[in-house]
Amino acid sequence: MSIGSRITGVGSYVPPKVLTNFDIEEMMETSDEWIQQRTGIKQRRWVEENVSTSDLAVEASKKAIENAGLTKDDIDMIIFATLSPDHDFPGTGCFLQAKLEMPAISVLDIRQQCSGFLYGLSIADNFIKAGTHKNILLVGAEIHSKGLDKTPEGRNVAVLFGDGAGAVVVSRTEVNSPTDSHIINHFLYADGAHAKELWLPAPGNAFGAERINKAMLDEKLQYPQMNGRNVFIHATKCMAKVLGEALQRSGTDINDVDIFLFHQANLRINQKVAEILQIPEEKVFNTIQDFANTTAATIPIGMDEAIKAGKLKPGMLVASAAFGSGFTWASALWRQ
């Protein structure tokens, strides 16, 4: 017998406002055919103007805690992964904590972008194995819609992103057998040499005397910038390699995995990863067609949707991988 952790509760929330590719066509020079062909996205959810990232996180968190059969008093830590915080500081986890009325417990914000959820899962697993915590709320939430360049100049990035939140509760468990529900392993990597291939330049402290000024705004440095081709090449290679590592290090054959939950950045990336590793198409569960890229929220949203669809059930072996800005990438293997 050993002490480990397992995912005991899952929840997600997406705003009710749906924008199809045809709605995007009215904003910029693009088309439903162009977007679907390159990304697989059909629609996304965008918030109304008075909604914050922590607001989305609240709804997902409540569902995850309830799904775990716990109350908020059972939670002893919050880990919040986001690149779109309510404010520069303090961390959005503090705003979430206040809205959930869960005072005094530890709160940790992490900024690993699309890899944020898997980084957070690793952190939660290690805190629990260290014996200091019993039930950790891990949240990934994003609002991209307020920070996109919705003009023709920004279309290559703007069509990719949606808003949403996903959350899980990671709890202490006794592991007596490999088939017991538990987090098996996780692997984390980064390469900052490629940081400016996908980044948000401003506001920032690396430009001179001011964090933001008119010149930066005129250059549209306040909007995300991406070298799409380079991201695609690195994402497919890194996700395939780190997922292969998770399987090899655990002695798991790829055919033993019941479901693959990849980060949802681009359907073509996930299809390429599946092709490299010879994963049957029916084992990969994708949600990008409905929600687009919600960065740190894609994997927990995918988990919740897979459960609702009857594709993810207790006892199943799950493999996950992500790649994002930084560059950062990660994988995890767990028994649901």
Q: Catalytic residue numbers? A: 114, 263, 293
Helical residues (DSSP H) of the chain, grouped into ranges: 21-25, 32-39, 53-67, 92-100, 116-129, 155-158, 214-218, 228-250, 267-277, 288-291, 298-308
Q: Is 176 within 8 Å of 1 (Cβ atoms)?
A: yes
Supply 120's token pair: 């957070």
User: What is the enclosing helix (H) or strand (E) of 7?
Assistant: strand 2-13
User: What is the enclosing helix (H) or strand (E) of 105?
Assistant: none
Q: Is 264 exposed, middle or buried (0-12, 13-18, 19+ CB in 10 A)?
A: buried
Phi, psi dihedral angles at 175 (to 5 degrees):
-110, 110
* Coil vs helix vs strand at 217: helix
CA-closest candidate to residue 62, choices 160, 165, 205 = 165
Supply 227's token pair: 């070298």
Supply 76's token pair: 């002893």
Radius of gyration for the alpha carbons in the chain, expressed in angstroms and rounded: 19
DSSP string covering 18-80: EEEHHHHHTTSS--HHHHHHHH---EEE---TT--HHHHHHHHHHHHHHHTT--GGG--EEEE
Query: CA 50: distance to chain centroid?
Result: 23
